[in-house]
Chains A and B, each alone.
Chain A
Amino acid sequence: MDHGLRHDVGARVINVSYPLNKILTALAKAHVTRDRLSDAELAGHDLGEAEKTALLTGDIRRLYDLGANPYLIRRVFRPRFPI
């Protein structure tokens, strides 16, 4: 089925970063909202360099590409979203 709406969007079936979602879930449950995270907030989490950089810079597009759950991205980095 094709609704002919957006042919250029390739969806990913499973692209999940467990480390990213683990830290974002913890922050979301604590009702943390940030423009970017701090080194202190990343301490103790098993994150790759790209994941750390994305979190420290609040790069919501990069977080999405790295496999963070988009709802968690929005929950934690709400100030980054214009709406």
Chain B
Amino acid sequence: MAEIVAAALASHAPLITGKPEIARPEQRERLYAGFHEMRRRLAAARPDLLVMFVNDHLQNFPYSNLPAFCIGVVDAYDAPSPGGSKLMRIPPRKLRGAPRWSMALLEAGLAAGFDFAYSYEIDSWDELAVPLLPTLSRCHEVGAFVGRFARSHAGASRVAFVATGGISHWVGTPETGRINPEWDHWVIDHIERGDVEPLLRLTWEQIERDGGNGGQEIRNWVALMGAVPGAKGEALAYEPVPEWITGCGTMWVHA
């Protein structure tokens, strides 16, 4: 049995750390303050397992094989890898995985009808993003399953969930650089109220229109909200940073 001790949401634009100097200082400092507060709360929660909801960025899965959901069963994660380290100006490092817990999640998921893929190699650095096709409702269901599993499995006692991605950003499209703060606030407001149902009804087309191709990453946030049913969020910071071409947000979720 485990306790869910923390849950947090954050954007993951690589330029946040890769080129901090190009952002307006006041925006950068407000956003950094949000990240620092998130780190403080996560550390204070003393998790013994961190479960991440993230999307691949084509560094792990090529167009010849794109799983909808994949569980990493990895001994040590590159976070970031040497390639990502240059982009994000974060030293390359290895983070210890929890392969036994992950394998148990995989087996339980398959038994419960979630057709997860799995991988013994995960390279985590952020620059490219695959098209994310599962519905938001399905992402929420997967997150709910992960939450139930985390609470019931004996392999960890204090579990924290973190999801990254979003909020609105257009990357590589003809609208590159566009940010939609109105939509970002709409997403944040619903998470603050714990009212995720309207998010689950969003279609790919609606997100593409209002949140951009990068906005599709809110699937990760929705999955996390599924893992902590009934929880309400708290916005720690939000800044639409044109220099980082991203509506950047950090949120704490009171699990």
| A35, chain B: closest CB distance, angstroms | 15
| A66, chain B: closest CB distance, angstroms | 13
| A38, chain B: closest CB distance, angstroms | 21
- A25, A61, A81: the one contacting B63 at CB < 8 Å is A25
Contacts between the two chains (Cβ within 8 Å), count: 83
| A33, chain B: closest CB distance, angstroms | 11
Q: Give A73 to B62 CA distance when docked, in angstroms.
A: 15
Q: What are 10 A-B contacts defined by CB distance under 8 Å?
A: A5-B210, A11-B205, A18-B63, A25-B62, A61-B174, A69-B129, A71-B171, A72-B172, A75-B127, A83-B245
Beyond known contacts A13-B204, A69-B130, A72-B58: 18 more, CB 8 A cutoff: A2-B206, A3-B182, A3-B210, A5-B210, A6-B210, A11-B205, A11-B208, A22-B63, A22-B64, A60-B174, A69-B63, A70-B176, A71-B128, A71-B129, A71-B171, A73-B172, A81-B172, A83-B176
Binding site for B on A (CB under 8 A): 1-3, 5-6, 9, 11, 13-14, 16, 18, 21-22, 25, 28-29, 31, 60-61, 64, 69-75, 81-83
Binding site for A on B (CB under 8 A): 57-59, 62-64, 83, 127-131, 171-174, 176-177, 180, 182-183, 186, 198, 201-202, 204-206, 208-210, 213, 242-243, 245
